[in-house]
Amino acid sequence: MNASDQNETTERPRRTLRDEEPYVLFAQLERLSELVKLRPREHEDGLRFLARLRASTTPEEAVTFTAFAALPTNAAGWGYECLRLMADHLHPQERPMMQQIAAWLSNPTIRMRHEIMKEALWAPARGPSVLLGLAVGWSTGKPAPNDPEPAPVHKAPVAINSAVLSCLARVPLSQRSVYLARILDMAESLFRAY
pLDDT tens readout for residues 18-32:
878 999 999 999 999
| Alpha helix stretches (DSSP H) within the chain | 3-6, 22-28, 30-35, 46-54, 60-69, 72-85, 95-106, 110-121, 128-139, 155-170, 173-193
Sign of CA dihedral 108, 113, 119, 122: positive
pLDDT value, residue 183: 98
Task: Name residue 70's beta-bridge partners.
Answer: 17
What is the pTM for the complete model shown? 0.90
3-state secondary structure of 171: coil
Q: What is the rounded CA–CA span in Å between residue 74 and residue 18? A: 10
- Residue 33: is it exposed, middle or buried by C-beta count within 10 angstroms (0-12/13-18/19+)? middle
CA geometry: angle at 47 spanning 45 and 49, to 5°? 70
Terminal CA-CA length for the chain:
34
pLDDT tens digits in sequence order for the chain, 194 residues long: 444 445 555 555 467 888 789 999 999 999 999 999 999 999 999 999 999 999 999 999 999 999 999 999 999 999 999 999 999 999 999 999 999 999 999 999 999 999 999 999 999 999 999 999 999 999 988 888 888 888 899 999 999 999 999 999 999 999 999 999 999 999 999 998 76
